[in-house]
Amino acid sequence: MCQTSARLDGKFAIVTGGSSGIGYEAAKNLVKRGARVVIASRNETKLIRARDLIRKSTGSNRISYDVVDLASLKSVRSFAANVLQNEDQLDVLVNNAGAVLLPDRLTEDCLNLTMQVNFFGTFLLTYLLLPLLKKSAPSRIINGLAAAMYIGRIEFDHWNDIGRYTPVESLANSKLAIALFSAELNRKFEGSGVSVNTFDPFVARDTDILNNVSGIAKNVSRLFVDLIGQPKEDIGQQIAYLAADPKFDDTSGKHYKFCTEWINHWLVSDEVLTSRLWEESKKVVQVTDEESWD
């Protein structure tokens, strides 16, 4: 799938959620192509294990990790500050980290946990790293979506409410928010050399995504995933294709699934909505005057 021999020698990439599943496979693939990669997620033990496995399987030391918890604005700011302080370039940002069926509760920032992990954390991280991505152009942002987005809703007055949405609805809302954010990002950066594309992994086998599911639901879900899912390596390959293939130097604003350009959510063309989502998100993550560039 998505075969390309394109190399990424001399390029620097960040893969969020690179400690397991799809992100791990993507990071490994990027390292094999010559990129230097930082994997970023919460659990340091998992990150170390992933880093060591990637080192072993690629024979390369161009893989390192840094801890970030997308459920904490402070943690995201600290991670981004570290990148901005230590790196001169950022060629590829893969926003893959995410979680499903999280508890319906507020975070330390008083935001809906699922919305913050799957959307606000990624929004803030991308916003803070954009000046570096722009300076490194041609550069690429690759955002992970999910088919759940098609049943998502964005209600700006309620999107951080607790007790309003089921876990599946929260997941759907957060993935729709990423789709709308990606569309706005693409419009804002048109012609700047920063491309923004999205992908839907469909269903991936052998990832940790069902770790929050318990009891019989876990067994049933696992059976379903094993039956219809794709190998996670294939999805890692799809991300690497979006990150490396020369075609994407001037292809932006597209959505991919099964290695094919795919129909995106119909609301991505609603510029009033995507622009409002951008502004409301900036308020939610409390972008400061010092951080603001737009």
| Residues near ligand NAP (CB under 6 A) | 17, 19-23, 41-43, 46, 68-71, 96-100, 117, 144, 146, 201, 203-204, 207-209
Paired tokens of 80: 């981004």
Judged by CB, which is closer to ligand NAP: 43, or 192? 43
Neighbouring CB atoms inside 10 A of 258's CB total: 16
Identity of the residue, 7 or 105, whose beta carbon is nearer to ligand NAP in the bound complex: 105
Q: Can you give 199-262 as a three-state secondary structure string?
A: EECCCECCCCHHHHCCHHHHHHHHHHHHHHCECHHHHHHHHHHHHHCHHHHCCCCCEEECCEEC
**What six digits make up the tokens of 56?**
């072993």
Which of residues 239 and 267 has its CB atom nearest to ligand NAP in the complex?
Answer: 239
CA atoms of 13 and 243, how far apart (whole Å) = 9
CB of 171 to ligand NAP, least distance (A): 7
Residue 196, token pair as written in the block: 């923004």
d(CA 51, CA 47): 6
- CA distance linking residue 269 with residue 262, whole number of Å: 15
- Residue whose token pair is 């964005």: 154
CB of 25 vs ligand NAP, minimal distance in Å: 8
Residue closer to ligand NAP by CB (options 260, 271) is 260
Least distance (Å) between residue 190 CB and ligand NAP: 26
DSSP designation for 120: I
* Residue closer to ligand NAP, measured from CB, 41 or 126: 41
Under 8 Å between Cβ of 144 and 256: no
Minimum distance, C-beta of residue 148 to ligand NAP, in the bound complex (Å): 7
The smaller minimum CB distance to ligand NAP, of residues 81 and 190, is found at 81
Please state the closest distance from residue 183 (CB atom) to ligand NAP, in A.
18
| Smallest distance, ligand NAP to C-beta of residue 292, A | 24
- Four-point Cα dihedral 131, 136, 140, 142, nearest 10: -50
